[in-house]
Structure 1
């Protein structure tokens, strides 16, 4: 069997497994689809079964994330996002650095790590992944405002966390770092402004240019190719040419590419729906493979060795997430015209799973980095434990907070009308 045919065979086997899981979830189980994929992957690792496919930092960052992020952005309701931008913006701009600082401080004490290494661990594990939560939201028709807040926060916090991690890696490599605590903070802020904002601006300009182009070339395949070029091209240009955040460039491009029919937009509605559906299908297929491979790539022996540290880290991550969300959203609520309900805040905390981006960052740690194996094991452990505990209890949390009941009432009233 040729290498290409063997690769295709393995991919098809995983997709067939994913199809069986999808049917199982739809018919019998009230479990988020992506969570079950991760757990099945862990089962493959326990056996152990060699699936013949491996995730790497470059594959996730350069191939997977641009597709998933771009699809996530173009799905956002722009009007709802504009009306609720303050909460996700505060959680990203203030919340991510605050979470890294708090988690770094407590993990330094809990695990006896050097300060910069503990901050690095915090920076890697902080980014949230809402895919599992949002897939469940779609099934129960949850409030769009809650979905937009959770989704937009995740789309932006990935890029900010990547910038922080890169800065910390440079500082750790200095032996010893050439800056103190205040210098570290100013360095991170400067890098966030230059690398983060720079990447977002590049993507925004390219996204706006793409919209102007597709207005003049409304053929559906040309429109689709234009969106593919701007999604991946913005990432490549920002990362390789300019040296700024490729993730935030992709997010910026998605925000400024117009894929929703509106007055004055000279593109057929069916064409735009075709483009969005194509991106949705591609994102679904790729994320399906990624979630299975995350579980299958777990080193069970290493997890068992560091089980206590993983459990402690999981609790600390959740506690820090709670402190950041409740405090910052509470402050925003003081002046906001439309308050963010406490039930939404509960979901922001409980729905903050840490999987794809943290694992990509952990896999990309350079060889020879102090405590590299420990960081990677803890990050994988937090991802799996969070999926197991938070993911499986997600339907219960939705019921307890009343979100599912309110969504059901709204859906019933809509059908009655």
Structure 2
């Protein structure tokens, strides 16, 4: 059997398994689809079944994240995003650095790690993953304000956290024993701002240029090809040519690509709908494979050996998330005209799962980073623990705080209005 045929059969086997999971979720189970996929992958790992495919930092960052993030951005309701931008903006610009500082400082004490390793661990594990939560939100018609806040925060915080990790890794490579000082902090902040801002700017220019092109060539296949080139091209241009954040470039490109028709649009709305549906399907397939492979790649023996450190780390990550969300959103509520309800804040905390990006960043740590294996194991452990505890209990949490029942009633009214 040729290597190509083996690869095809392995992918088909995983997709067939995912189909069974999808049918089970839609028919019987009240569990987020992506969470159940991870658990199925863990079972595969426990049974020592070799799926023949493995994730790596390069595969996730270069192949998976650009289309998944690009699709997430083009699906955002731009009007709702502008109306609710304050919370995700604060949680990304202030919340991510604050979470890294808090978690990095506590981790130094809790695990006895060197300060740079602690801060690297913190920067790796803090990015949140919205896919598991949003898949459930779509089923119960959760209020758009909450959905937009969670989605937009995660789309941006992935890129910001990746920049912080890359900056810290670069500094560690240049200094054998870096010390925390005002000069060190200034270097981190300067590199962080330049890499983030320039990356986003590069992507925005690419996205706007794509919009100008598709307005002149408004044929649906041409639009689809142009958006694919933009999603991957902006990443490659920023990351590998200019040397800035490719992930934020992809996010910026998605924000400035025209994929929603309005009254002034020269592009047929059916063509744009086809493009969005195609992107949605492609991102779904990639996410499906990644979630199964995350579980299947779990180092079970290492997790058992570090079980107490993992439980402590998972609790600290959730605690730091709570401090950041309640503290910063509270400040936003004081200054904003439209407050974020306490129930929304609870979901922002509990729904902060840490899976795809943290695992990719952990896999990409250079071998010379002190305590690299420990960091990788604990990051995997936090991802699995969060999926099991937070993911499986999320439907109950939504029901207890009243969001699920209220959202379901609103969704039923909206559907009845559409039928009339």
When residues 216 and 175 of structure 1 are mapped into structure 2, their CA distance, relative to the original with a 3 A threshold, is closer
TM-score under structure 2 length normalisation: 0.98
Rounded Cα–Cα distance in structure 2 between residues aligned with 1:182 and 1:86: 29
Say whether the 8 Å CA contact 2:116–2:178 is kept in structure 1.
Answer: no
Range that drifts further, 365-374 or 17-26: 365-374
Question: What is the deviation of 1:398?
Answer: 0.6
Matched, 1:336 2:336: yes
1:256 corresponding residue in structure 2: 256
Rounded Cα–Cα distance in structure 2 between residues aligned with 1:161 and 1:367: 20
| Alpha-carbon displacement from aligned partner over 1:76-128 (angstroms, at most 9, x marks no partner) | 00000001111100000000000000000111000001111100000000000
Which residues in structure 2 correspond to 1:52-91 (within 5 Å)? 52-91=52-91
Which residues in structure 2 correspond to 1:218-257 (within 5 Å)? 218-257=218-257
Rounded Cα–Cα distance in structure 1 between residues aligned with 2:177 and 2:162: 19
Question: What is the deviation of 1:369?
Answer: 1.7
Which residues in structure 2 correspond to 1:286-297 (within 5 Å)? 286-297=286-297
Question: What is the deviation of 1:179?
Answer: 5.4
Rounded Cα–Cα distance in structure 1 between residues aligned with 2:212 and 2:378: 46
2:141 corresponding residue in structure 1: 141
Say whether the 8 Å CA contact 2:211–2:258 is kept in structure 1.
Answer: yes
2:209 corresponding residue in structure 1: 209
Rounded Cα–Cα distance in structure 2 between residues aligned with 1:182 and 1:207: 37
Count of residue pairs brought into register by the alignment: 417
Question: What is the deviation of 1:245?
Answer: 0.2
TM-score under structure 1 length normalisation: 0.99
1:93 corresponding residue in structure 2: 93
Range that drifts further, 261-270 or 15-24: 261-270
Rounded Cα–Cα distance in structure 1 between residues aligned with 2:33 and 2:180: 45
Aligned partner of residue 52 in structure 1, secondary structure: coil
Say whether the 8 Å CA contact 1:235–1:249 is kept in structure 2.
Answer: yes
Which residues in structure 2 correspond to 1:27-176 (within 5 Å)? 27-176=27-176
1:377 corresponding residue in structure 2: 377
Aligned partner of residue 393 in structure 1, secondary structure: helix
Question: What is the deviation of 1:264?
Answer: 1.6
Runs of 4+ in 1 over 4 A off after TM superposition: none
Say whether the 8 Å CA contact 1:117–1:172 is kept in structure 2.
Answer: no
Rounded Cα–Cα distance in structure 2 between residues aligned with 1:403 and 1:144: 12
Range that drifts further, 185-194 or 41-50: 185-194
Rounded Cα–Cα distance in structure 1 between residues aligned with 2:416 and 2:9: 48
Say whether the 8 Å CA contact 1:203–1:250 is kept in structure 2.
Answer: yes
Rounded Cα–Cα distance in structure 2 between residues aligned with 1:195 and 1:58: 19
Question: What is the deviation of 1:175?
Answer: 4.1
Range that drifts further, 208-217 or 400-409: 400-409
In structure 1, runs of 5+ residues without a counterpart are none
Say whether the 8 Å CA contact 2:31–2:395 is kept in structure 1.
Answer: yes
Rounded Cα–Cα distance in structure 2 between residues aligned with 1:98 and 1:4: 46
Say whether the 8 Å CA contact 1:171–1:177 is kept in structure 2.
Answer: no
